[in-house]
Each structure stands twice: as structure tokens, then as C-alpha cells.
Amino acid sequence: MRTAGVSVPEAVREIITRNRSIYDCMKMNVINYSALAAQIRPEVERETGRPANPNTIVVAIKRYADSFAAGGRRPDPGVLKNARLSVTGGILDIRLSAEEVGMEPAAILSKFAEATDKYEFFRMADSVRFLAEDIESVRRVMEELGGRRHHGSGLARIKVTIPPERAPPDSISYIAEVLHSNGIELKNAFFSDDTTTLVLDERLAPRAYEILRSDIVRAL
């Protein structure tokens, strides 16, 4: 679970990775960092919960761009050596605004914990996100909290866990590039120090899993 607001670099990476057009422009090095920073600044501020200096966003964008291999080539697949994969289908991606619900994030979390123990919780600045199984008890809580309008269904979750000692900064761009180059679009993506959580169409999940698994096997 992520229980604290994200940093500016984390927000920038997540926003770019789940936006295919921006991602492709960055990969081809045909994007103006200052213009992009101005474009995504409102979203960065929503996710971090505080004002963001444009120059700080530009630096975060440049650092993420630097993680791409020169010439548009993918990084060495060795970045996924000893990584572990798990895939779960039938997932709901639920967004709840604490202000709309009228409850503190901790209270919202308790409600979901009563419904299921199989979920992930991401706390943003002005909302909370849950990745949870699409089961009746979860939908009851979601309806009780007014989150019926703010969710995506028919989704799957793939977790890629890389040993901390082998979690290089370009692993995120590598995972995104592998999937994008195979025509697999992400609905969302969440990052921590050693885990990347991918949210995608459930129909694409088996293929995405096999693509990443094959890369892990090749890296051994």
C-alpha cells in the first residue's frame, strides 16, 4: 500500500507512463520539457497535494527521459533479472474523493478492509485509489461511499517486483517500453521503490504477463 502523497518525480513518471502519446514523444526525444511541464503541472499538483515549481517538474521530466536508452533502444533486459510477476484479473480501479465521501482516508480504508483483504490502496493528495477484486462486498462498500461513478471495471493488475538491489532507475521505462512496443496500452500505473503495479484491460493481461515473463527468463 502507498499511504502517503507521491513526490513530484513519482507523479511525473506515472503521468507520462500511462499517457501513450506523451510517452512516445519522449522516447523519440521530440518533446519540449518546459511545455510538457506546463501541461501536466495541474495533474502533478493534484497527485502531490501541493504547489509544484515548474522547474522542479522540468527536472523530473529530464531525469525520466535520461532513463531511456540512447537512440530510442530499450535498456538491457537484465534490469528484470530475478523479478517476480503476479497477475490478478477481475479488478476494479476505484477513485474516491475524501471530500465527496465526507470521511478521512483512514476511515475509507477501514471500510474496504471489512469487505476484502485483497486490495491495494494508494493515497493521493485529494483522493484515494483502490485496486480491489470485483466482488459483491466491494461493490456494496463502493456504492455506500458514492464511488459508483468513479471506477473502471474489466481490468487486471500485474505486479512486477524487482529485488531492491537490482532496481535500477530505468526499469520503469523498460517495462513501459516493452508493453507499448507490443501494442499493449496501460490504463494506469503506480510505482514504488521496487514494485511497479500495472493496470490494464483484462483481455490483454495474459499476453502482457507472458511478454514480461519471457524477458525475465532471458535475463537469467
In this prediction, residue 73 has a pLDDT band, given cuts at 50, 70 and 90, of very low
How many domains is the chain partitioned into structurally?
Answer: 1
Q: Tell whether the model's pLDDT for residue 165 goes beyond 70.
A: no
Instruction: Assess if residue 63 is contained within a domain.
Output: yes
Q: Tell whether the model's pLDDT for residue 168 goes beyond 60.
A: no
Per-residue pLDDT tens for 16-61? 887 878 888 887 788 899 999 999 999 898 888 789 999 999 999 9
Instruction: Assess if residue 41 is contained within a domain.
Output: yes
Q: Mean pLDDT score of the chain, rounded to an integer?
A: 82
Can you read off the three cell numbers belonging to residue 95? 477513485
Which domain does 33 fall in, by range? 8-72
Instruction: Assess if residue 49 is contained within a domain.
Output: yes
Per-residue pLDDT tens for 112-160? 888 888 888 887 766 778 888 888 998 888 888 875 556 788 899 999 9
Task: State the alpha helices, DSSP H only, in the chain.
Answer: 8-17, 20-27, 33-48, 54-66, 98-101, 105-115, 136-144, 171-181, 205-219
Per-residue pLDDT tens for 19-31? 878 888 887 788 8
What's the confidence (pLDDT) of residue 148?
Answer: 55
What's the confidence (pLDDT) of residue 157?
Answer: 94
**68 vs 60 pLDDT, higher one:** 60
Query: Could you tell me if 141 and 66 are in contact, meaning their C-beta atoms sit under 8 angstroms apart?
Result: no
Instruction: Assess if residue 40 is contained within a domain.
Output: yes
Instruction: Assess if residue 107 is contained within a domain.
Output: no
Please report, in angstroms and rounded to a whole number, the separation of the first and last CA atoms in the chain.
29
CB-based burial, 55-66: b 16+ in 10 Å, e otherwise: ebbbbbbeebbe
Can you read off the three cell numbers belonging to residue 82? 530475478
Q: Which residue has the cell 474516491?
A: 96
Instruction: Assess if residue 144 is contained within a domain.
Output: no
Task: State the alpha helices, DSSP H only, in 67-204.
Answer: 98-101, 105-115, 136-144, 171-181
Per-residue pLDDT tens for 172-216? 778 888 888 888 888 888 877 778 889 999 999 999 999 999 988
Instruction: Assess if residue 123 is contained within a domain.
Output: no
Residue 28's identity, in one-letter code, is M
CA distance to 128, 133, 135, per residue, from 112 (Å):
12, 11, 12
